[in-house]
Amino acid sequence: ILCYKMCFTLLCILFGFFLYIQELILEKFGIYVDHHIIRLALNLVPSGDTSKLFVKDLTFEKINVRIYQPKVPSAGLRRGVVYCHGGTGRFGSISKKFNRKGIWTYVNLEAVKRTMEYRLAPEHPFPTQFDDCLAATIHFMRTAEDYGVDPTRLIVCGDSSGGTIAAAVCQALVNRTDLPRVRAQILIYPFLQAVDFNLPSYQQNHAMPPLLRKWTIYLGLRYLNIDVSAIDGLLEGIHIREDLREKYSKWLSPDNIQDEFKIRGYEPPKLLPCVEEYSTKAQGFLTPTFSPLLAEDDVICQLPECFILTCEHDVLRDDGLLYKKRLEDNGVEVTWCHLKDGFHGVLAIARMYRIISFEAGLRGIDTIMYICWRLNQNES
């Protein structure tokens, strides 16, 4: 098993390195093929076992959705789960990789799950992905009982950039008095801010696959259709105006991160003056839709109960830690799971072909199963 894990890790490193290098070279000639390559690779991953579920594919308002309903009858209305897949808005499908996750083995048996095949960039520019997921969530709320779901027991969930979308959707719904309140949100190693790429987790895990620091910025720039030559400027922080830097510091200061997460190394970066060119380019980065950590307190304080999962060996670890603190400071109940031996994407590959397993991923899945059970007990 150790040999398989080492081989798989090596393949991840080589694949990520290849994509990063080939894009930097090919894009100079106007050739953009990365999203096609990754989409093809993801489509080769087999789907999960759905023998205990009714599966129905639907389309509304040009959005493809898939409904998973338990075959086991229920005495009453079930919980509902809206799931936003990851993939930096450019990859992912409702039919392959993201439905293989063991996370939902339990949830699918206890809830009706709706996954959205939101339209992908670059064919459909940001914020189409958020707009699609918000529209699909609202539609589910309004038609929940048609699928045997209690609209007041809806969980919005996402992993990685899907966690970004899930957090943004929950924020967009807090003032919707015409809709039921979201019961809870589940954010799995989410990307939550594009202000500071020198937080301790970014420094410590800058070369940790599959989500290297520059690769993270690169994918964000491509997602927003911004020239990737801005990578180094964003890394240096010269895209943040002085007035915004002061405002964001109370939410994003490394002082808000426990010292135990700085033991592996952290050096406060040198603050450089803002460069107007980069500030203009990065405006889309600083919206709550792209960076939910930047939402105002009057929005944060209204959010539903939240479960956040972070991994030690992940550049996005501190995004989760900072969002956890913001929520708690605003009186929102938070349950936090930290995988000390986890890395970005580990839940997605916790079980692979019954050959490879990652204990960190399995623990993360077990924790989410427990959270869903606890929510069910609280509602009984």
List, by residue number, the catalytic residues.
160, 314, 344
Task: Report the chain's terminal Cα–Cα distance, integer Å.
Answer: 42
Instruction: Provide the 3-class DSSP secondary structure of residue 167.
Output: helix
Answer whether 205's CB lies under 8 Å from 266's CB.
no
Q: How far apart are CA 131 and CA 136, in angstroms?
A: 9
Q: Where are the alpha helices (DSSP H) in the chain?
A: 2-26, 34-43, 103-110, 128-143, 161-173, 200-204, 213-223, 231-236, 242-252, 276-281, 297-300, 317-329, 359-379
- C-alpha neighbours within 13 Å on the C-beta side of residue 176: 18
The pair of three-digit structure tokens given for residue 72, joined into one six-digit string: 């086991």
Contact in structure between 332 and 292 (CB atoms under 8 Å): no
Dist. CA 27–CA 172, nearest whole Å: 35
